[in-house]
A and B are shown apart, each in its own frame.
Chain A
Amino acid sequence: MSLDAVSSSSRLGPMRTRPVWVQSLQRSLRTRQMQAGLVLTIAIVLLAIFGPLFAAHSDSAFVGIPFSAPSGSAPLGTDFLGRDVLSRVLDGGRSVVMLSLAATALGVALGVIVGLLAGYSRSVLDDLLMGASDIVLAFPQIVLVLLFVSILGPKLWLIVLVVALSHSPRVARLARSVTLELINREFVESAVLIGIPRRRILRQEILPNLTTPLLVEFGLRLTWSIGIIAGLSFLGYGIQPPNADWGLMINENRQGLTLQVWSVAAPILCVFLFTIGTNLMTEGLSRTLVGIDGRGGER
């Protein structure tokens, strides 16, 4: 991957162009993948945020006998305790959407800091940070998260923190490799020569060039976060009953799959569409990333 490097703190005066990542976002909006992904993602996020306002019943109200078929008062039937499936689907999205967004943002931020430091330091710090990353990488993400959350308890902040930690070495690797690639470019060397402090070089010279690959990485990590966080609830270590949550609902109602398929199919469909949406957006973004120099990557 070769990058279109730009220097933002040019001594020749501030550049009037928009930041690179805004440009790539705009370019990606022209791809069909981005358009389709955006529509899907926005639909699911709106459903998750405003869904509770439209829920006909409370997420803990009993409206019929368990696993009863769709009817007037419960359009998608009832779940294993006799609660309205549609209301619980409308209520159960907030946790997945919020937690996965928070975990991804934190994980990418952490990864960038580690990657920049490791890539720029060229000292024992690099070996140390990358060694630590390798240890985290050896464990499958879901197993790592499962271990911490099962031992320390299913607290929301802990889920966010551990998922973020499991993402960060993967982001750090990317940030480090881009930093290493940039560090010998002329504009960085000039910045060092004219005595710009290291911190400002990292922030003003290196970071702007990282934004587009990081945007793609953010999309990728977000898709994985959704799977991990919904999966964690599915395994019983995420959101706890009696709260409504898509992952939890899938597990709770699994036993009645033959009686009332909607109680499982509805939350499954939501998670499915959400991951497809974020994945398509990532796809659209990565195409524009390739488009910068017109070569390489996927065609």
Chain B
Amino acid sequence: MTGNLGQSLSAREPVTRLLAAPVLNSLILISASAVVSIVLAIVLGVAAAARRDRLFDHLFAAFAFLFTAVPEFVVGLMLVILFATTVLVVLPAVSIIPAGSGPFSHLDIFVLPVATLVLTCVPYLARLVRGSMIEALESEYVRMARFKGLAERRILFRHALPNALVPALQGIAVVLGYLAGGIVVVEYVFGFPGIGTALIQAISFRDIPVIQAICLMLAAVYVVVNLFTDVLVVFVTPRLRTAQS
């Protein structure tokens, strides 16, 4: 155990130097997808719960049924057909960062990969938020708040939502762990210069040190995310935080 990731067999370069840029690109991809997914899922989930069994809720359910568990590369290529090649040509179909420039000067290449990951994550997460939100809205403290005559908006966002988010935290952890695997295929679809593409390249070159390093990072995402969530759940649940033996 030295922390040294070794030398790449195909590039004849230290793995850390070889993977520095891809790791940064993938980190941007994962965090952007995670932030957009979480925000969108909360907005959609709360909106669907607040309009339960009305038109919006049914439309939401149809969307969720359609896109839960559709493979990422299918969603990605559908978006490519829709927005980059056949129907509309408004976004780049492949994500190429020209040599010598950083990822931040080419934000348009992130749009389709992020949209793909968001579309595969949001249905699951939003349904989770909707479910726990409905449970919160049926609780006694919400009924109490309604009796007090509080505004519906205040009830939704100050009373119901904070409680509904606790179960959603677990879902967010699942989604982040899922993103770690999702980027591999999505990056390959778009030729995105991240660790997913690097992994598939390394596999075809049998470049064991690079494969090891990337697998280590992907597994680390899962471990860290789960640890972090467990702590966070205790932190946001007063009952667990103050329970002392």
Task: Give the complex CA separation of A267 and B36 in angstroms.
Answer: 29
Residues on A with C-beta less than 8 A from B180 are: 140
**Are A279 and B65 neighbours in the complex by a CB distance under 8 Å?**
yes
Contact (Cβ within 8 A) B69 A299 = no
Q: Are B78 and A223 in contact (CB under 8 A)?
A: no
A226 within 8 A of B: yes
Cβ of B66 and Cβ of A139 under 8 Å apart? no
Range class of the B interface residue count: 35 or more
User: Of residues A137, A224, A299, which shows the largest number of chain B Cβ atoms within 10 Å of its Cβ?
Assistant: A299
Known: A140-B184, A146-B203. 14 other contacts (CB 8 A): A139-B218, A140-B218, A140-B222, A142-B181, A142-B184, A142-B185, A146-B184, A234-B185, A257-B80, A257-B81, A257-B85, A258-B86, A272-B74, A299-B134
Specify which chain B residues have a CB less than 8 angstroms from the CB of A276 in the assembled complex. Answer: 65-66, 70
B215 within 8 A of A: yes
How far, in angstroms, from A146 to B211 measured CA to CA in the complex? Answer: 11
* Residues A275 and B70 in contact in the complex (CB < 8 Å), given A140-B178, A261-B85, A264-B81: yes
Chain B interface main SS type: helix
Jot down 13 A-B pairs with beta carbons below 8 A, ordered by A. Answer: A143-B184, A146-B199, A147-B203, A227-B71, A228-B71, A237-B203, A257-B81, A257-B86, A257-B93, A268-B81, A272-B74, A279-B70, A299-B134
Residues of A within 8 A of B74 (CB): 227, 230, 250, 268, 271-272, 275
Instruction: Report the separation of the CA atoms of residues A275 and B188 in the bound assembly, to the nearest whole angstrom.
Output: 21
The CA-CA distance from A226 to B215 in the complex, in Å, is 23
Q: Which residues of B contact A (CB under 8 A)?
A: 65-66, 68-74, 77-78, 80-81, 85-86, 93, 127, 131, 134, 177-178, 180-182, 184-185, 188, 199-200, 203-204, 211, 215, 218-219, 222-223
Q: Which of A135-192 contact B (CB under 8 A)?
A: 137-143, 146-147, 150
- Tell me if A289 counts as interface (CB < 8 A to partner B): no
Complex CA gap A257/B177 in Å reads: 31
With contacts A254-B77, A272-B74 taken as known, whether A143 is within 8 angstroms of B69 at the C-beta atoms is no
A33 an interface residue at 8 Å Cβ cutoff? yes
**Is there contact, CB below 8 Å, between B68 and A264?**
no
Q: How large is the interface on A (under 10, 10 to 19, 20 to 34, 35 or more residues)?
A: 35 or more
Cα-based distance from A159 to B183 in the complex (angstroms):
21
Q: Residue on B with the closest CB to A224?
A: B69
- Contact between A140 and B177, CB atoms less than 8 A apart: yes
- A235 lies within 8 A of chain B by Cβ: yes
Interface centre among B71, B86, B134, B203, by most A CB within 10 Å? B71
Query: Given that A138-B222, A140-B218, A275-B71 are contacting pairs, would A235 and B181 also be in contact in the complex, using a CB cutoff of 8 Å?
Result: no
> In whole angstroms, what is the CA distance A113 to B190 when docked?
40
Determine the distance from Cα of A234 to Cα of B86 in the docked complex, in whole angstroms.
Answer: 21
